[in-house]
Amino acid sequence: MEKNFEVTKNEFQRQYETKIDGELLAVEFSEHDRKIFLTKLTIPEQFIDSETQNQFITKILDSFKDTRFKVMPTSPEIAKFFRKNRLKYKDLLPAGISI
């Protein structure tokens, strides 16, 4: 079942975040030379490997579709998501990078 939630960019804590059922889901990031490094996924145990986790990552990645930023998924969970959705998000990877 798809949940309706909004992901916000918290510049101070350098993370994308949302709250679902009172729980914080977050992806830490850093920016360098028009690249966004998604470095760490922090997610409550009940959402690990769930459709909610996939929706959360999807919303973050979709926010880069019409930007000049490229995405470097250095978090193992986000790299795994990239591999599962390779065709949909391959254009977000920098040239020469494959996952």
pLDDT reported for residue 97: 84
CA dist., res. 66 & res. 14, Å (int): 21
- pTM of the predicted protein model: 0.92
Domain boundaries, the chain: 8-92
CA dist., res. 80 & res. 74, Å (int): 10
- List pLDDT tens digits, range 1-20: 567 899 999 999 999 999 99
What would the two tokens of residue 12 be? 């101070």
Domain 8-92 in this protein, CATH class: alpha beta
Q: Are 26 and 42 spatial neighbours (Cβ–Cβ below 8 Å)?
A: yes
- List pLDDT tens digits, range 53-97: 999 999 999 999 888 999 999 999 999 999 999 999 999 999 888
